[in-house]
Amino acid sequence: MGAPQPVAELWRGGRLESQHLGHAVVVDGTGALVEGWGDPSTVIFPRSSCKMIQALPLIESGAAAAAGLSDSQLALACASHSGAAIHTRAVEAWLATIGLGEADLRCGAHWPGDLPARDALIRDGGQPCQIHNNCSGKHTGFLTLARHLGAGPEYVEIDHPVQRAVRAAFEETTGETSPGYGIDGCSAPNFACTLAGLGRAMARFAAATEADTRGRAMVRLRQAMASHPEMVAGEGRACTDLMRAMEGVAVKTGAEAVYVAILPAERLGIALKIADGGTRGAELAIAELLVRAGVLDPDHPAARRLRNAVQVNWRGIEVGVLKAAAGFPGPQLPGKA
């Protein structure tokens, strides 16, 4: 990983207390790097930020059409959801329509991030299951594809037809041969690429038209995410709040402080990675870049919550501020409002 640059800073008592360093890119519809911060050639794991790429074979294979999937379900296939009732009920219903159940998932179980859902489980003396996993929508998409292909049940194995299709889509959209993979928190392979390659993939989603199969799949997925932001993350989550604040723009976070954005009207893709894995730095950085691109109103509550975020202690006293580092992201691009 090359040298990152200062992206976000926490100030307290007039002093710099903490600093997040990172890398970021803006790529246009031709695949050209428009701007870069830090080292665009840094090799990263995109983690969950690339779920829309992982969902491409679901549509391109005809599996989504055969299963009659709605845009809401496709948004769920791209989600890192909170495990709220709106998410778990949708996953249960989707599994039932393809004749499968919770035991067929391979994502593992964890407590839902949604507090009402978690509290309800505790009150009822229950335990979380795999449907509560934030990746259960993606995995249900994998199962739908595996069923359509007539492939075996171990769809997270690297040599399974599902993962071979995912890798092909990943390398084609990033324009790179992946140097390898790691195993994600949900047990699926996560293919590595450069940050510039991830930005290139997002730009291809942004510039896609319905002229061919790949383009139609990209358009449908980006529109599904932007139209159903509540399915992609959940109430109070940055992805959901940011997409609600914009028109037609899709954004997606990934573990270890990766963030991407698809800007169709501008035909631009954005990708960033905070070197220390800090989510607060990634959320601030993506908000700054979206404001700079002219697609996010700086006065919208979603933007104000992430940019120049006042830090308040347990007594309600303002004690500091999290803000962009000097020089990041810099002056607004020419021609942007």
pTM of the model: 0.96
Residue 189 pairs in a beta bridge with 183
Maximum distance among all Cα pairs of the chain, rounded to whole angstroms: 62
Instruction: Say how far apart CA 38 and CA 4 lie, in whole Å.
Output: 4
Structure letter (DSSP) for residue 332: P
194 φ/ψ angles, rounded to the nearest 5 degrees: -75, 160
Q: Encoding tokens for residue 227?
A: 């139209």
- Candidates 273, 263, 270; CA nearest to 225 is 263
C-beta separation of 37 from 22 below 8 A: yes
pLDDT for position 333 = 56
Distances, alpha carbon 283 to alpha carbons 18, 51, 168, 252, 279, in Å: 16, 18, 29, 10, 6
Amino acid at 210: E
Instruction: Say how far apart CA 20 and CA 9 lie, in whole Å.
Output: 6
Reduced DSSP (H G I as helix, E B as strand, rest coil) percent helix, strand, coil of the chain, to 5? 40, 20, 40
Amino acid at 230: E
Q: Helices in 159-295 by DSSP H: which ranges?
A: 161-174, 195-207, 213-227, 229-232, 238-245, 279-292
Query: What is the separation of C-alpha 175 from the centre of its chain, rounded to a whole number of angstroms?
Result: 19
Residue 67: CB atoms within 10 A of its CB come to: 18
- For the chain, the domains span 46-272
- Candidates 195, 319, 296, 294; CA nearest to 238 is 296
Distances, alpha carbon 238 to alpha carbons 29, 36, 80, 153, 282, in Å: 25, 23, 12, 34, 10
- Candidates 328, 270, 245; CA nearest to 22 is 328
Tens digit of pLDDT at every position of the chain (337 positions): 579 999 999 999 999 999 999 999 999 999 999 999 999 999 999 999 999 999 999 999 999 999 999 999 999 999 999 999 999 999 999 999 999 999 999 999 999 999 999 999 999 999 999 999 999 999 999 999 999 999 999 999 999 999 999 999 999 999 999 999 999 999 999 999 999 999 999 999 999 999 999 999 999 999 999 999 999 999 999 999 999 999 999 999 999 999 999 999 999 999 999 999 999 999 999 999 999 999 999 999 999 999 999 999 999 999 999 999 999 998 765 444 4
Task: Quickly list DSSP for 90-110.
Answer: HHHHHHHHTT--GGG--S---
pLDDT for position 331 = 77
Torsion of CA 264, 75, 283, 38, to 10 degrees: -60
